[in-house]
Amino acid sequence: MSAEGKKGQLKSNNSPLLIAGPCSAESEEQLRKSIFPILHKVDFVRAGVWKPRTRPGNFEGAGEDALIWMNNLRQETPFKAAIEVATPEHVELALKHNIDLLWIGARTTVNPFAVSELAAALKGTDVPVYVKNPIHPELALWKGALERLAKANIKQLGAIHRGFHTYQKTEFRNVPMWQIPMELKSEFPELPLICDPSHIGGSRAMIESLSQKALDLNFNGLMIETHFDPDNALSDAQQQVTPARLIEIIDQLIIREAHF
Ligand code: PEP
Ligand code: MN
């Protein structure tokens, strides 16, 4: 324990939520090697099943096959699974395969029509639904998506800060603009707010410092991309960390009083 807080306790009682796993589910073997070594450290395993690529021609996800791989692995060793959904059909398949947490991606949050369709498909669900901020720095769209889902009586809502695209040249892939998630938090103090340092930094070297910054700002958790062979990942190769590095990062993070 350090003077300011405790190290390495992301998984204790009230400690921050930790979601980790690969950007994309690529195969059952890739999932196994990427997530089995971290299961004792994480609350939910993430894996992208339908990938929202900004431009065509890249890996777009394995679809329902990936849900089957996850469930095969969960039969061996149970874990809670989290995926991104962007359409009512994704929601239907995710619920059919008993996915435990859903998130709405940055490219969907920007679109009120898409969010309304998702809200209708999710109406009344007990499954937690987390909403990433829209790609560009537009707090109203983020709030609007959360409000549409709240109106559909989705009981466990949360928000994910993944940074904002701007045309400025900066060290970040998506500039954090911490004041925007902080403003969301002050307006909705009960809403769990977690940070995605992977998509903010866009580089594995930045994951630890961004995670610590988020914890220092009292974020309620982290979502971190983890791949057993990051350099050969089919998406977001530069920002994924190995399972061993993820564990090292978690064990280094200092958790402040507010999380105890
Ligand atoms: C992801 O989580 O892999 C992803 C596509 O994120 P975002 O919607 O934040 O770009
Ligand atoms: Mn990604």
Ligand 1 atom closest to 23 (CA): 3
The model scores a pTM over 0.90: yes
* Cβ of 132 below 6 Å from ligand 1: yes
* Cβ of 204 below 6 Å from ligand 1: no
* Cβ of 48 below 6 Å from ligand 1: yes
Type and span of the H or E element at 75: helix 64-76
* Cβ of 148 below 6 Å from ligand 1: no
Residue 253 carries which side chain, given as an amino acid letter?
Answer: L
* Cβ of 22 below 6 Å from ligand 1: no
Residue 43 neighbours by CB under 8 Å, 6+ apart: 11, 17, 18, 19, 80, 221
The whole-number pLDDT of residue 121 equals 98
CATH class of 6-259: alpha beta
CA angle 168, 175, 14 (to 5 degrees): 175
To test the ligand 1 pocket, which listed residue (24, 34, 132, 207) has its Cβ within 8 A of the most ligand atoms? 132
Sign of CA dihedral 139, 145, 148, 152: negative
Ligand 1 atom closest to 132 (CA): 9
* pLDDT tens track, the chain, 260 positions: 233 445 544 444 568 999 999 999 999 999 999 999 999 999 999 999 999 999 999 999 999 999 999 999 999 999 999 999 999 999 999 999 999 999 999 999 999 999 999 999 999 999 999 999 999 999 999 999 999 999 999 999 999 999 999 999 999 999 999 999 999 999 999 999 999 999 999 999 999 999 999 999 999 999 999 999 999 999 999 999 999 999 999 999 998 766 54
Q: Where are the domains of the chain?
A: 6-259
